[in-house]
Amino acid sequence: MEQASPLRERAAALIHMLRAEGKRTPSLAMIKSEREIAGIREAGRVNSLVLDAVAAMIGEGVSTAEIDNVVMRETKRLGGKPTCLGFQGFPRAVCTSVNEVICHGIPDERVILRKGDIVNVDCTTTYGGYVGDASRMFIIGQADAAARRLVRVTEECLALALAGLGPMMPLGDIGYRIARHAHENGYTVVREIGGHGVGLSMHEEPFVSHVTAKEGQGMLLLPGMVFTIEPMVNEGSRFFTCDKRDGWTVRTADGRRSAQVEHMLLITEGGYEILSR
């Protein structure tokens, strides 16, 4: 039997009070215990180490299959398991999304990274029964100014979402900040795919939208929530297609480039903690 969790007990009392005031709150199931947070923190640490190994080898002439091999090897060396492998039939250990691929790109020996490419490597690791999740953008060689700007603005979107993040902030403010900055810079944001709760499994509640029309919407964030923020920012149209052949690869509908950066976060009583990046 799991030990009592003071964090969850405080959250339960706060949820009861806030709901009595008519406020939207997470369910208690979205609040992790101290023991769970410790395990998720370790999984996040290992996940970041795997992405560090990718950062050390990625470059011009590297195939996305080689990236997958490094993720598989390093994850096993660290004592973890690649969560993506076999998830709903996904065939590889990591997602590698190049240029116009928004997400869920399948590593392939035939996809060779070339100078000017931008690539998102999305890594999820199971360690000690808990899950860590994050993704990084990489610019291969000397990319054009438009590619560099797209990646920079996407990183700025995430930084703005983190500014002031903490308990009692409405969940929708994350999407409001991301969408406003992206739109001000002439980009669009994917609406249908967003961040998510994580830690005990790969995808949990809540869904974290990266597009919100105005501030102050959505449930209030409370200490003990663990979720990802992972804006997908497109050069052109926000619309996308899913490859009918492999059932996974999501591409921009107009063939223009997309960028994504993902952090896994814990809401603390004083703000937030990045668990994997």
Over residues 100-151, the pLDDT tens digits come to 999 999 999 999 999 999 999 999 999 999 999 999 999 999 999 999 999 9
164 pLDDT band, cuts 50/70/90, is confident
Mean pLDDT of the chain: 97
Query: What average pLDDT score do residues 236-263 get?
Result: 98
- Please, what is the Cα angle at 181 between 219 and 166, to 5 degrees? 35
pLDDT recorded at residue 77: 98
pLDDT recorded at residue 248: 98
3 pLDDT band, cuts 50/70/90, is confident
Positive or negative CA dihedral for 256, 262, 267, 268? negative
pLDDT per position as a tens digit, 182-235: 999 999 999 999 999 999 999 999 999 999 999 999 999 999 999 999 999 999
Query: What average pLDDT score do residues 153-162 get?
Result: 98
Query: What average pLDDT score do residues 49-73 get?
Result: 98
pLDDT recorded at residue 185: 98
Please state the pTM of the whole predicted model.
0.97
* Angstrom distances, CA of residue 25 to CA of 20, 30, 169, 201, 232: 11, 10, 11, 21, 26
Domains of the chain: 29-276 (3.90.230.10)
In the predicted model, is pLDDT for residue 1 greater than 50? no
Please answer whether residues 39 and 129 qualify as being in contact, where contact means their C-beta atoms are separated by less than 8 angstroms: yes
2 pLDDT band, cuts 50/70/90, is low
Residues 6+ apart with CB under 8 A from 188: 182, 233, 234, 236, 237, 238
In the predicted model, is pLDDT for residue 47 greater than 60? yes
Closest residue by Cα to residue 208 from 160, 250, 238, 171: 171
